Chain A
């Protein structure tokens, strides 16, 4: 098998050119040269991979000429067409960390070439780029070089070979905000008991799921003039025309449906049903008005309590459906309702 080709990015300091006084040197491409920490990487790669070029840039120069230098480096990397791009490790050097994160993320995003870097968790580059490239966690100074290279080498080979990348805690990269499954060594109940004992004794413990910032939506003000308002019905209860024409999934729905209510005054067992997999469908299938109250809305329409019922309704299945999907469907349904001049919506769930 051909060796995995790696391009390595480092700053002026690790290239042995100089410290702060040389931080303004422009980017340089050194083809077929292995420099600084690249030597340790190359040794670690053994026969499996090799550094085919090293790119060096001063930290100040990079950060002060970010667009131009990024374009220049991307041009070189594109031509070199490596299997993997490694930047750093940057430890706790702030500008170097930002440079490593910026260029690694750009190589991945713009060239579609796998990239990775390494730095200390408090390096400002970590928070900026940890969801855009793999950032392996290192110590805060170059004293941790040996450990960093060992960790990054192992990860680099696995990643470049296309092997399955496990969860962040297994592989040592910074969590990217993407939930990844893996098998723990102890079962969940044991982990819970251990965590509780630590918590009770004021010992440190690490939660397995840090709570997110929760997205809460403020309701709109009340509709003042219901008698002239067009009201729409939208449901996550899975009410669809009989036969589920769009094949909306019973759980983890990948779509929503838009269906006509023109001329419909009552939903019955012959024409509507539920696609929802999260509850006993008997009652909804007997009379889908129980979930999507078209019959009552028609009565209110007749009585003049509301202006009219919007002639289309929207349905999806809110069962195990990812929040991101629900948000996407909500935004699209909202757009269509606004375009149709709907004043208010009744959302029904189950």
Chain B
């Protein structure tokens, strides 16, 4: 499968009468977007705002981050099975708005959303302090249950991102990247001497607001399968979860999966990137066993020499991570796993909830329990009502001087387990 990604660099976002993209500037009329959000009666109001890198702005509680894209050639549309029809995506041409993101926010669960600071210490840890963020704070209808609120905000974010992505149609990209994987036989013929490498991506599916969707299917209910790595670039995998902000994979990171990008960078040079294997992180033991068995079997059937396994979340999914690693290694396939750590505020605890000698090659996104002090910022997009309750905070988080004492856990993307960031630990 061959996909071209045309990158349109967005250098500013401004509110204006007419929604359009011109000379790299995204002009948005919130009145155009409001009806897109409020078409769902579960949401009664939405406030749009813009946060720019370096501004004294805090966005919280953050639910998802999405990159607007539009499909201009080839089958299907962005977010297949969710927004577009379920055609198989991942080939043809897609335009992406780089340097910006749609950020959804709201008091969904209150303690399972995150913080994005556009300046200060917190900004060093979140990748989304470097993007121009079009934020949408969504108000629920009265008495809406959290899971209905989550779904409504999730879908509203995709609708808005799609609408903005459409503005890119017809615009000449600043840069084009081509990603192509070959069929099994083709790949072996073309790269007979290169090791065959796969990417096992574990999707958060613990349920109860910890879900991920693939072509609109709740990934709890999938049996591990293979997809082309370019499918995720067209939004085939979307986030629907409210887990600790630091190590959940927002939709943006699925769209810009760094493991896929970095494997493509070596594709045809030092390795043959064969495919992405998606599996889940269910809570029942039988599901864990089945999924890890299937994943290991797929690695064997595809004659892979090596895989990178990435995780989402922590604790319970650590057991899936170790099971996958152990079983894949037992098939003779070399693995590297990517995780983060919960080693306690003092860094002295065991970092994962499971361990095995087979996991001898680990990349870590850092200790999520590390405490940082976030400065008081001038403006809040969203609300501060939950900063003392958010996962990684405590009743003493909001201090008298307005600063916040928090674990990195609260910061969206801080210890990302797809290796999106530079943070690590030893």
Contacts and interface: CB of A to CB of B under 8 A. Distances in A.
Contacts of B393: 249-251
Nearest to A327: B349
Contact of B369 (A185, A205, A252, A280): A252
B362 interface: yes
B334 A319 contact: no
Contact of B355 (A168, A214, A282): A214
A243 to B, nearest CB: 13
A179 B423 CA distance: 12
Contact of A199 (B209, B334, B391, B423): B334
Interface string B340-360: 011111111111111111011
Contact of B421 (A187, A283, A319): A187
B22 interface: no
Given A181-B366, A187-B420, A214-B354, A322 B343 contact: yes
A251 B339 contact: no
Interface string A259-302: 00000000000000000011111110000000000000000000
A247 B395 contact: yes
B348 A177 contact: yes
State the main secondary structure of chain A at its contact with B.
loop
Contacts of A324: 344, 348-350
A325 B407 CA distance: 15
Given A252-B345, A252-B369, A193 B259 contact: yes
A128 interface: no
Contact of B262 (A177, A190, A214): A190
A175 interface: yes
Given A196-B308, A281-B146, A188 B421 contact: yes
Contact of B424 (A183, A214, A281, A283): A183
A212 B338 contact: no
B271 interface: yes
Contacts of A183: 124, 422-424
A178 B348 contact: yes
Contacts of A283: 208
**Most chain-A CB neighbours within 10 Å: which of B258, B343, B365?**
B343
A125 to B, nearest CB: 21
A251 B367 contact: no
Interface string A2-26: 0000000000000000000000000
B206 interface: yes
A208 B262 contact: no
Interface of B: 109, 111-112, 124, 145-147, 195, 197, 206-210, 242-244, 258-259, 261-263, 265-266, 270-271, 305-308, 310, 314-315, 334-336, 338-339, 341-357, 359-370, 389-395, 407-409, 416-426
Given A211-B359, A280-B109, 14 more contacts: A181-B425, A186-B422, A188-B363, A188-B421, A207-B360, A208-B364, A250-B391, A251-B409, A252-B392, A252-B407, A252-B409, A277-B109, A278-B244, A320-B391
